Amino acid sequence: MGALYSSLERRRLDAPKCHPNTRLAVIDRLIDWMTGKIDEGALILWWLYGAAGAGKSAIAHTLAEMCEKYGWLLATFFFWKTASERNNESRVVATIAYQISLVIPIAREYIEAAVDHNPGIFDLSIDTQLTKLIAEPLHQLQSTGFDFKDCPFLIIIDGLDECQGAEAQSDVVESLVAAFHRSPLRTRILIASRPEVNLQTIFASSTMQSHLSRLALSHEYCPSGDIYPFLKDSFEKIRNEHPLASHIPPSWPSSDVIHEITRKSSGQFIFASTTIKYVGGDLHELPTRRLDVIRRLQPARGEEDLPYAELNSLYNHVLSNVRNMGRVKQVLGVLFVMNPNAGEGSVHSMESMDSFLFWKPGETQACLSQLASIIECDVYGEISILHSSLSDFLLDRTRSHELHLCQELVLGDCVAPLRHMGDPQIAVDGELVLITGNYP
């Protein structure tokens, strides 16, 4: 039951949902699509995608709450990589069928009859399960003269990238479309995920195009404009409710500090939410001091004090799935060690990177395709870093451990080919290593 948006398991894990009066433009657009108020209303499948930590699950949760309130929610399934019952496709159909039987009680007898007829059905393919447990029972119910009315129904599949196996992910998408595109129910399917390369391939297939629209959580939807009020309200709550509130100045933190954290968030809610959880999360520590730790004005209190635990977990998860980490670290080394001021908004040329590393054209893109949720390679041949805090993680050995970008090793890998280009000068300023010359 953890796959349901309102499950106790998700509540215990503090499942994210949108802060009041944020992400309104995205949610309004999804509601308009679902209710047919925009041209894409005829398309049954929408892919909501964005960088890791961009707030996709929060949007999915909030949309589920709204749709349930209006009687539009048909089913949800929230994948989760560390939950054995939610990191694969085996329970998707059973969970959706169960929820349909609750929303449309009269359909329950037809679904139960399908299970009674073939008790081993849950060991069959997803496509067969959806056909026998959902598509056929709904058509049988329609044949009895049952009036489904013209109410829009929504199925939400969140975190598809956390379902194990590219083939399983493809089966989930294709089977859902096949089961519902001619259903007597006016059903819409929202799939939220990171833009992993295998999912880009799935959604780019010709069989999907007549059913699919896309919604990218890009700067078009002003995420920073939503992050600032979230931070402002959250700090106010800490000021008012923390047990040590009497020691917090009424003007804490300043608007400049909130803007600083907003910029550092790079449009990704995970940095902002991690900051708030750390600052206000220890009832025996002054929030003012913990904010100073986040801002690197104070040291953390030993190895147990982890201000970036959630971000560390995110970056470790993305990077741990990389093949040939050595080549990836070469690119990351150029981005973050040889260009130490790089951060969110920094743009680099894939063509120049290939040339710099003496690689064949396209090798940089192939290498970084594994990091699509934190580094974007666009159609214009440019590399964009989506998380400004990624460099902090990679350059801090206490956080990144074996993934750490050691300056000496990076420079050792990069200087040899550079010498063929005219023996570049290397200047050392404390711990910061700069390479001068016309290099990317």
| Strand blocks (E) in 259-405 | 347-349, 375-377, 382-385
| pLDDT on residue 1 | 67
CATH architecture of 8-221: 3-Layer(aba) Sandwich (3.40)
Q: Rounded CA gap, 184 and 210, in Å?
A: 19
Tell me which of 97-106, 350-359, 416-425 is least confident. Answer: 416-425
pLDDT bin (cut points 50, 70, 90) of residue 429 is very low
Q: Rounded CA gap, 83 and 164, in Å?
A: 11
Q: pLDDT at residue 423 above 60?
A: no
Mean per-residue pLDDT for 119-145? Answer: 94
| pLDDT on residue 422 | 43
Which among 259, 252, 402 has a CA at the least distance from the CA of 322? 402
Which among 269, 266, 261, 270 has a CA at the least distance from the CA of 311? 270
Q: pLDDT at residue 341 above 80?
A: no
Mean per-residue pLDDT for 103-117? Answer: 95
Q: Is 63 left (phi over 0), alpha (psi -120 to 50) or beta?
A: alpha
| pLDDT on residue 47 | 95
Q: pLDDT at residue 53 above 50?
A: yes
Q: Is 46 helix (H, G, I), strand (E, B) or coil?
A: strand
Structure tokens given for 239: 């000021």
| pLDDT on residue 255 | 96
Mean per-residue pLDDT for 72-95? Answer: 93
Strands 426-429 and 432-435: antiparallel
C-beta separation of 49 from 194 below 8 A: yes
Q: pLDDT at residue 229 above 70?
A: yes
Q: Rounded CA gap, 321 and 16, in Å?
A: 24
- Neighbouring-strand partners of residue 170: none
Q: Rounded CA gap, 184 and 36, in Å?
A: 16
Q: pLDDT at residue 197 above 70?
A: yes
Q: Rounded CA gap, 203 and 205, in Å?
A: 6
Within 8 A by CB and 6+ apart from 333, the residues are 405, 409, 410, 413, 414
| pLDDT on residue 94 | 95
Mean per-residue pLDDT for 191-201? Answer: 94
Tell me which of 7-21, 148-162, 166-180, 377-391 is least confident. Answer: 7-21
Q: Rounded CA gap, 183 and 156, in Å?
A: 17
| pLDDT on residue 419 | 45
Per-chain mean pLDDT for the chain: 86
| pLDDT on residue 414 | 57
Q: pLDDT at residue 269 above 80?
A: yes
Does an H or E element contain 383, and which? strand 382-385
Structure tokens given for 297: 């004005």
Mean per-residue pLDDT for 249-268? Answer: 94
C-beta separation of 89 from 163 below 8 A: yes
Which among 67, 377, 348 has a CA at the least distance from the CA of 195? 377
pLDDT bin (cut points 50, 70, 90) of residue 7 is confident
C-beta separation of 435 from 424 below 8 A: yes
Mean per-residue pLDDT for 72-100? Answer: 93
